Amino acid sequence: MHGRLKVKTTEEQQEAKRKEREKKLKLYTAGTQKVFEKRKKNEFDGEILEVCAQLLSANPDVYTLWNVRKETFQVLAETKTPDEMQELYDKELGFIENCLRVNPKSYGAWYHRCWVLDHTPKPDWKQELKLCTLYLEYDERNFHCWDYRRFVVAKSDVAPSDELEFTSNKISTNFSNYSSWHYRSKLLPVLHPDQEKKGRLKEDILIQGIVLVPRLVSACFKWLLKTMIDQIDACIVRKKDILIQGIVLVPRLVCACSKWLLKTMIDQIDTCIVRKKDILIQGIVLVPHLVSVCTKFCTPIASSLMAATFFICALPGEKPLGIQAVYANSALNQVMVIFSQSVNLLQQPAEVSISGSVMDGTWRNSRGSQYHSIMWIYTVSSDALRQEGERTLQVKLREDVCRSCHLDEGATECWSKDKQDASSLFTAELSDEKTEFLTTELESCQQLRELEPDNKWCLLTVILLMRALDPLKLEAEMLGCFTTILSQDTYRANYFKDLRSKFIMENAIMRYLQESSKVTESQVKQATFDASGKELTTLHHLHHLSSVHCMDLSNNDLLALNDVDLLFCVSDLKADSNKLQDISHLSGLPCLETLSLENNNISSLSQLEPLAACPNLRRLDLSGNSVCDLDLFGSKVRELLPQLTSLNKELL
């Protein structure tokens, strides 16, 4: 079965299981034979019910046995009073519930329950509705139970509005509950029938839009959204009329409810077109005014999808392959190169030369693996990099992908980096038209927030729009939205925490680079990149910090220091008071001298082994970790890391 670990068994275990299966098969065969014999003789009594019960308790999926029980109840009903049959049916419902615990998706068991309730003199429909709710809490995708719920609702006096509210609650718990969406699509036309019944739509704009639907799949999805955005400026110039063609289709992505929602929206759009309203786009964005009955769920999703469309446009486009930075360190005898895209220099090595002479050496990526990476390190085999005098170093992957840096006389290191606007590092520059459009969309979503302040989809849309417009200025409000989302959606808490961490890291990097551009190089070396106390669960974009010498990641929620291998120049790293268990990415940091890992979850010496590949590590602080309680901890650490001069703030 899916998600099950395959466990190998010994021959003895297999033989024991085989014998057990044979024993059960004999008992099962004997039981079924007895049932068929009594059925053939028309002996429908308590004994046949008991034998069937034993067999069905082991396997509720045998339809014939359920049919035998139906036949038995029909025979017993001829001689027993209604009260006696009510008692039998009540016991039967309890038995069926036991069988459903064995297999909650048994066709036969659910159908037999319907049959029993159809024949019982006094069915308790409220109890059956509670049973449905209970089993849908166990498994919200149990379509057998959804079918049974519709049967119960049809037989009882449950109002469609109550059932619509039930689907709302299920969807608010898990938006991907497709069964709830399907049920909802059946309830909405009952509660809100189409009064006008216009029939087929005649607008050419709908036909043009429908042509695009098959393209909204798989890998084409992102491309199509970006293509739609590229048309925004032209659409605005043409009074935004053409924009409807793309936007009108977005609500169709709302699961099983999409067809009904789309038709309702199109009906409203036709009216808007007839009236020649200039605020047509605002009407489409503010779907609650178009589709009042879907305000709670469909509206935020349609709005979220549209906002996501525009947000994708606001992301910086993929840069062409190039070398963003080159750093040479003669003391380390290494050259570090950062590319604009991930490359594999083991398959296609780049040439490294100094003053026109090619230097022999070996390439490795920051993780020491054989895969593509954005950062590569070249270890020079000779002493050519350590020669005295002025030197010019060049790294060339191909003729159009090369970069040089100048090493002054007496200097041990040199940098050559792209100059870029930190404020647009993670977002694209927006035209005035796009900025105006996104601002209008943000205002619309803020209005929707006033109606539903805890709607996570609306909040996520607001966050994405804020990131596109002004991520630094709107950071506090963005973090407030994340706090609300995390309190509402526990199922996706880790996803939202990681997304929040990504945005926080982006803002911190932008601020650091902006401040670094205002000071001297010596001041930059002394500066600390401070990302402490920000509730980070993951790290991102660390290649932008490859020149950082001091970094503070303390008081976060990090389980691992992923991607810190990109911090080539870091010499002082603090990561106190996290939840660190994995520090493997620290391996190979050539400049790391001081490492503080106080109050983390390091419990074994094996977790410290990656530090043996840090040649310049001198000071290590592990205070507050359970590894410090091991016998002979100090001597074992010194044996593992002989280069240390200080351990837990004590000189060695």
Find the mean pLDDT for residues 238-243.
38
Could you write out the DSSP letters of every residue in 156-215?
S---HHHHHHHHHHHHHH-TT-HHHHHHHHHHHHHHS--SS---S---HHHHHHHTTGGG
The residue with greater pLDDT, 349 or 2, is 349
What are φ and ψ of residue 528, in 5° steps? Answer: -110, 130
Rounded Cα–Cα distance for residues 366 and 564 (Å): 9
Find the mean pLDDT for residues 528-546.
94
3-class DSSP state of 340: strand
Helices 63-76/46-58 angle, 10° precision: 160
Phi-psi region of 124 (alpha: psi -120 to 50; beta: other; left: phi over 0): beta
- pLDDT of 411 strictly over 70: yes
List of domains in the chain: 21-171 (1.25.40.120), 204-314 (no CATH), 323-422 (2.60.40.1130), 503-651 (3.80.10.10)
Find the mean pLDDT for residues 594-598.
96
Find the mean pLDDT for residues 468-481.
92
Q: Say which DSSP state 582 is in.
A: B
Find the mean pLDDT for residues 202-208.
53
- pLDDT of 89 strictly over 80: yes
Hunting for tokens 């963003």 — which residue is that?
A: 324
3-class DSSP state of 561: coil
**Contacts of 48-54 spanning 24+ positions with Cβ under 8 A:** 48/72, 53/95
Token pair for residue 560? 């691992």
pLDDT at 249: 38
Token pair for residue 326? 């080159």
pLDDT at 201: 52
- pLDDT of 462 strictly over 60: yes
With residue 631 as reference, give the H or E element that holds it.
Answer: none
Rounded Cα–Cα distance for residues 642 and 652 (Å): 10
The residue with greater pLDDT, 255 or 8, is 8
pLDDT at 199: 56
- pLDDT of 223 strictly over 80: no
- Outline where DSSP puts E strands in 253-329: 323-329
pLDDT at 215: 44
- pLDDT of 428 strictly over 90: no
- pLDDT of 304 strictly over 50: no
Find the mean pLDDT for residues 566-587.
94
Terminal Cα-to-Cα distance of the chain (whole angstroms): 55
The residue with greater pLDDT, 254 or 483, is 483
pLDDT band at 9 (very low <50, low <70, confident <90, very high): low
With residue 268 as reference, give the H or E element that holds it.
Answer: helix 258-275
Contact 537, 501 (CB under 8 A): yes
pLDDT band at 295 (very low <50, low <70, confident <90, very high): very low
Contact 515, 527 (CB under 8 A): yes
Contact 170, 136 (CB under 8 A): yes
pLDDT at 369: 80
pLDDT at 42: 86
Token pair for residue 180? 């709830």
pLDDT at 1: 41
Hey, what amino acid is at 122? K
| Predicted confidence (pLDDT) per residue in 315-341, tens digit | 555 678 889 999 999 889 899 999 988
pLDDT band at 228 (very low <50, low <70, confident <90, very high): very low
Strands 351-354 and 357-358: antiparallel
Contact 575, 554 (CB under 8 A): yes
Rounded Cα–Cα distance for residues 538 and 500 (Å): 9
pLDDT at 456: 83
pLDDT band at 7 (very low <50, low <70, confident <90, very high): low
Residue 124 sits at the vertex; the CA angle it makes with 123 and 126, to the nearest 5 degrees, is: 145
Average model confidence (pLDDT) across the chain: 80
pLDDT at 204: 59
Query: What dihedral angle (degrees, nearest 10) is formed by the CA atoms of 592, 598, 600, 601?
Result: 90
pLDDT at 344: 92
Contact 122, 86 (CB under 8 A): yes
pLDDT at 357: 87
Token pair for residue 534? 């920000």
Find the mean pLDDT for residues 471-491.
91
| Predicted confidence (pLDDT) per residue in 51-87, tens digit | 888 888 888 988 899 999 999 999 998 988 999 999 9
Rounded Cα–Cα distance for residues 650 and 635 (Å): 13
pLDDT at 13: 74
pLDDT band at 290 (very low <50, low <70, confident <90, very high): very low
Task: Give whichever of 103-107, 270-274, 449-453 has the largest mean pLDDT.
Answer: 103-107
Find the mean pLDDT for residues 545-561.
95
Query: What pTM, to 2 d.p., does this model score?
Result: 0.61
Percent over 90 (pLDDT), the chain: 41
- pLDDT of 529 strictly over 50: yes
pLDDT band at 10 (very low <50, low <70, confident <90, very high): low
- pLDDT of 379 strictly over 60: yes
Whose CA is closest to 388, among 352, 353, 355, 351?
355
Rounded Cα–Cα distance for residues 297 and 284 (Å): 16
Rounded Cα–Cα distance for residues 244 and 269 (Å): 9
Rounded Cα–Cα distance for residues 87 and 49 (Å): 15
Cβ contacts of 104 within 8 Å, gap of 6 or more = 135, 138, 139, 142, 144, 145
Exposure on the CB side of residue 178, measured as CA atoms within 13 A = 6
The residue with greater pLDDT, 287 or 75, is 75
Find the mean pLDDT for residues 380-400.
86
Task: Give whichever of 99-103, 301-305, 422-426 has the largest mean pLDDT.
Answer: 99-103
Hey, what amino acid is at 490? T
Number of alpha helices (DSSP H) and beta strands (DSSP E) in the chain:
23, 16
**Contacts of 17-24 spanning 24+ positions with Cβ under 8 A:** 24/58
Q: What residues does 574 pair with on adjacent strands?
A: 552, 596
Hunting for tokens 């996290």 — which residue is that?
A: 578
| Sheet bearing 361-365, strands edge to edge | 361-365, 373-380, 334-343, 323-329, 413-417
Rounded Cα–Cα distance for residues 558 and 64 (Å): 57
Rounded Cα–Cα distance for residues 303 and 270 (Å): 20
Contact 390, 411 (CB under 8 A): no
Whose CA is closest to 284, among 444, 86, 513, 416?
444
Find the mean pLDDT for residues 438-466.
86
Rounded Cα–Cα distance for residues 538 and 499 (Å): 9
